[in-house]
Amino acid sequence: MDLKISIERLFEILPDSQVEGSTKNKDLKGVASLESARQGDLSFLGNPKYKNLVQSTNATLILLPEDYDGSPKDEQIYLRIKDPSKGLASVCSYLEKNLVTPPEMSIHPTAWLDKTAKVANGVTVGAFAFIGKNVQIEEYVSVGTHCHVGDKCSIGKNSYLHPGVKLLSRCDLGKNVILNAGVVIGSEGYGFDQVDGVHHKIPHLGKVVVEDDVEIGANTCIDRARFEETRIGSGTKIDNLVQIGHNVRIGKGCLIVAQVGISGSTQFEDGVVVGGQAGFAGHLKIGKGAKIAGQAGITKNVEAGAFLKGNPALPFHLSQRISILQKKLPELFNRFEGITGKE
Which residues are known catalytic residues? 246
Beta-carbon contacts of 338 under 8 Å, excluding residues fewer than 6 positions away, are: none
Give the burial string for 119-153 (b: 16+ CB within 10 Å, else e).
beeebbbbeebbbbeebbbbebbbbbbbbbbbbbb
Specify the pairing of strand 148-149 against strand 166-167. parallel
Report the distance separating Cα 298 and Cα 44, nearest Å: 38
Beta-carbon contacts of 83 under 8 Å, excluding residues fewer than 6 positions away, are: 65
- 261 SS3 class: strand
Q: Nearest 5°: CA angle at 329, between 323 and 335?
A: 150
Name the helix (H) or strand (E) containing 330.
helix 316-340
